[in-house]
Amino acid sequence: MKTPSDKRPIGIFDSGVGGLTVLKEVIKKLPSENIIYLGDTARVPYGARSPEIIMKYSLECAQFLLSRGIKLLVVACNTSSSISLPGLAQDLPVPVVGVVEPGARAAVAKSRSKKIAVIGTETTIKSGSYKRAIKAIDYSIDVMGLACPLFVPLVEEGWIRGNIVSLTAQKYLSPLKKFGADVLILGCTHYPIIKRVIREVAETNLIDSAAETAKEVKCILEESKVLRLDNSKPEREFFVTDSPKKFIQIGEMFLGQKISNISGINVGDLK
């Protein structure tokens, strides 16, 4: 019997604009899917907030997307994935994909020296989420976590190449050489945008959690036979909790294409 087409959208949320790096990869892998993206721009950044607050915000974002009939939820934010994924996966009625486990799996597969480094926000690194995910696959691997909080504002300012970002990367990444990592995980939505600079400074293999996550989303939809098998143009809808104009301005750089069909919503509407 022919598998029916499932036109329910994929839901993706992030603390703001950064998750568009994940959306971009999902679009590459699944160009026919309808997608709803929610950026919680009123409450960004999540990266230095407490686990309790991140859990609360993540649940609110997830519920908003669920109320719009999604078939799968992608938690694009590394900080949210680090803190809220087990809880969301347990409580929600749809499959939930975070960015940590796919990134960790790809890093383990790539590493020969069994030394992996991960960079992310303060909360992501403090949570130890990548370390746990890597150790669950291979306990003998050494993991070094480095918080790089200034990368997010630099990218949001559009300072993605040149001296300032390069010197910042040199400062943050200097412990890498001594540690001897042969793989570095980009454990934050914003870091793929400055991949070139990070690669030049780190001189090691990079794992982009966004691309790995998109592969996992495709696998789950295929296995569950809920792909949209329709050739008509898919719908892409964006919601932000503040400043749609600013989101479009920076977002188009992240996504590499035009953003339309965007609505501003009140944070209060997420509850």
| Residues near ligand DGL, by CB under 6 A | 14-16, 18, 44-47, 77-79, 120-121, 124, 152, 188-190
* Residue with Cβ nearer ligand DGL (22 or 259): 22
Q: State the minimum distance, in angstroms, from the CB of residue 191 to ligand DGL.
A: 8
Q: State the minimum distance, in angstroms, from the CB of residue 129 to ligand DGL.
A: 11
Annotated catalytic residue within 61, 77, 148, 219: 77
Active site residue 61: no
Residue nearest to ligand DGL (CB): 47
Which SS3 state, helix, strand or coil, does residue 94 take?
Answer: coil
Q: 15 with 80: CB under 8 angstroms?
A: yes
* Residue with Cβ nearer ligand DGL (8 or 132): 132
* Residue with Cβ nearer ligand DGL (190 or 236): 190
Least Cα distance to 227 among 40, 19, 72 occurs for 72
Q: 259 with 248: CB under 8 angstroms?
A: yes
Q: State the minimum distance, in angstroms, from the CB of residue 76 to ligand DGL.
A: 7
Q: 178 with 68: CB under 8 angstroms?
A: no
Which SS3 state, helix, strand or coil, does residue 146 take?
Answer: strand
Within 8 A by CB and 6+ apart from 209, the residues are 78, 99, 100, 102, 103, 185, 186, 187
The residues annotated with a catalytic role in the active site are: 77, 188
